[in-house]
Amino acid sequence: METRILPPKDKLFRLLTCAVVLCCGSARAQGPKPAGIATVKPDSLPVYSEMDSSSGVVQMLKKGDQLTVNLEIASSSGQWCGVSLKGQTATLGYVSCDGLQVDMPHPAVEPSLAAAGSAPVEGGSPASGKSDGRRRVQLSVSIPSAGSAEQIKQLMAKVVTGDGVNIEKIQELETAAQNGSPAAMARAALAHDVAGGYELTKNDPGRAMDHFRAALPFAAKNSQLLLVTLWDLAYVHLQLSEYSDAAKYLDQARRLDPNSATTAMLSGWAYYGLNQLDDAVQQWQESQQLEPNPAVAALLARAELDQKTERGFQQGATSHFVLHYEGGAMPGLAQDILGTLEEDFNDIGATLSYTPPEPIGVVLYTNRQFEDVTQAPSWADGMNDGRIRVPVQGMTAVNGELAHVLKHELTHSFVRQMTRSHCPTWLQEGVAQWMEGKRSAGNARVLVEMYDQKRYIPLRYLEGGWMRFNPVQAVVAYAWSLAAVETIVANYDVWGLQRLLAHLTEEGTVDGALKAAMQTDYPDLDRQTADYLRRTYGQ
pLDDT at residue 429, as a whole number:
94
pLDDT of 17: 26
Neighbours of 216 (CB within 10 A): 17
pLDDT of residue 129: 26
Pairwise CA distance, residues 448 & 446, whole Å: 6
Lowest mean pLDDT among 77-81, 438-442, 494-498: 77-81
| pLDDT in the model for residue 396 | 87
pLDDT of res. 23: 28
The pairing of strands 100-105 and 164-165 is unpaired
Condensed to tens digits (0 to 9), the pLDDT of residues 187-196 reads: 999 999 989 9
Q: How far apart are CA 253 and CA 405, in angstroms?
A: 40
For residue 447, the SS3 value is helix
Q: Which residues pair with 59 in a beta bridge?
A: 47
Bridge partners, residue 83, by sequence? 69, 93
DSSP 289-351: HHS--HHHHHHHHHHHHHHHHTTT-EEEE-SSEEEEE-TTT-HHHHHHHHHHHHHHHHHHHHH
% of the chain surpassing 70 pLDDT: 80
Q: What is the pTM of this model?
A: 0.72
pLDDT per residue over 459-474, tens digit each?
Answer: 998 988 776 676 777 8
Among residues 444, 442, 426, 425, the alpha carbon closest in space to that of 532 is found at: 444
Q: Kindly compute the dihedral angle of the four CA atoms of residues 125, 126, 131, 133, in this order, to the nearest 10 degrees.
A: 90
In this structure, what is the dihedral angle of CA atoms 225, 226, 227, 228, given to the nearest 10 degrees?
A: 50
pLDDT at 342 over 50: yes
The pLDDT score that the predictor gives to residue 386 is: 87
Q: Which residue has the higher pLDDT, 38 or 238?
A: 238
Is the pLDDT score of 24 beyond 50? no
What is the mean pLDDT of the segment spanning 140-150? 60
Mean pLDDT across the chain, nearest whole number? 81
Q: How far apart are CA 190 and CA 167, in angstroms?
A: 14
pLDDT tens-place string over residues 370-422: 888 877 766 678 888 889 999 988 888 999 999 999 999 999 999 999 998 88
Q: Please determine, for residue 182, whether its predicted confidence score (pLDDT) is greater than 60.
A: yes
What single DSSP character describes residue 114?
Answer: S
- In this structure, the strands spanning 360-365 and 387-391 are parallel
Higher pLDDT, 392 or 132: 392
As a whole number, mean pLDDT of residues 507-536 equals: 94
- Reading phi first (left if > 0) and then psi (alpha if -120 to 50, else beta), residue 39 is in beta
Task: Count Cβ atoms below 10 Å from residue 124 Cβ, excluding itself.
Answer: 19
Mean pLDDT computed over 509-535: 95
Burial class (CB in 10 A: 0-12, 13-18, 19+), 166: middle
Higher-pLDDT residue of 264, 12:
264
- Residues 6 or more apart whose Cβ sits within 8 Å of residue 19: 32, 33, 34, 35, 36, 69, 70, 71, 72, 106
- Pick the most confident of 80-89, 290-299, 337-346: 337-346
DSSP string covering 34-49, please?
A: P-EEEEE-SSEEEEES
Q: Give the CA radius of gyration of the chain.
A: 26
What is the pLDDT, as a whole number, of residue 468?
Answer: 64
Name which of 108, 107, 136 is nearest 2 in CA terms.
Answer: 136
pLDDT value at 260 more than 70: yes
Predicted pLDDT of residue 103: 60
Return the closest-CA partner of residue 385 out of 360, 368, 359: 360
Q: For the segment 92-101, what is each residue's pLDDT rounded down to a tens digit?
A: 888 888 898 8
Q: How far apart are CA 90 and CA 412, in angstroms?
A: 37
142 pLDDT exceeds 80?
no
CA gap 340, 345 in Å, rounded = 9
Widest Cα–Cα separation across the chain:
86
**What distance in Å separates the CA atoms of residue 419 and residue 164, rounded to the nearest whole number?**
23
Cβ neighbours, 10 Å, residue 322: 19
Per-residue pLDDT band for 61 (boundaries 50, 70, 90) equals very high
pLDDT digits (tens, 9 = 90+) for 262-319: 999 999 999 999 999 999 999 999 999 999 988 899 899 989 999 999 998 999 999 9
Rounded to the nearest 5°, which phi and psi values hold at 280?
-65, -45
Report the percentage of the chain scoring pLDDT > 90: 54
Residue 424 pLDDT > 70 = yes
For CA atoms 89, 8, 118, 530, the dihedral sign is negative
pLDDT-derived band of residue 88, with 50, 70 and 90 as boundaries? low
218 has a pLDDT exceeding 80 = yes
